[in-house]
Amino acid sequence: MENVNLKVGLNASVETWVSDKSTAEEYGSGDMDVYATPAMIGLMERAALSAVSLHLPKGYTTVGTSVNIKHIAGTPVGMKVKAFAELIAVEGRKLTFKVEAFDSVEKIGEGYHERYIVASQNFKEKVYKKSDNI
């Protein structure tokens, strides 16, 4: 891997609106029309990716490998949600982020997320090689 100079403290936030497509009912993770835990985790992952993607060499990206998240408050359809990620550790290719999510009223989620730096083309080739076994 080329020289990657990622510094602890890199951070980013992303936001979206809770829609009918991001409810627990739609995801199948619950039977209520409130913001789904998997949707919140996806937003947190997007924030983590955004925090480091511009700092990686061309041809490299990160892939999510672990989440340890608490969903601590519900959010109704129609409300804006925002996720924040901060890089708190760099161990070789492994990146650890502290992540939080908020709606317009309160913190709705928190935890930690790990991503690994990979060469995009090599990763795709390895994954798609599995199709040969279908």
Active site residues: 37, 45, 71
DSSP symbols for 69-86: EEE-S--BTT-EEEEEEE
The Cα–Cα gap between 122 and 67 comes to 24
Q: What is the DSSP letter of 22?
A: G
* Identity of residue 100: E
Return the DSSP state at 129. Answer: G
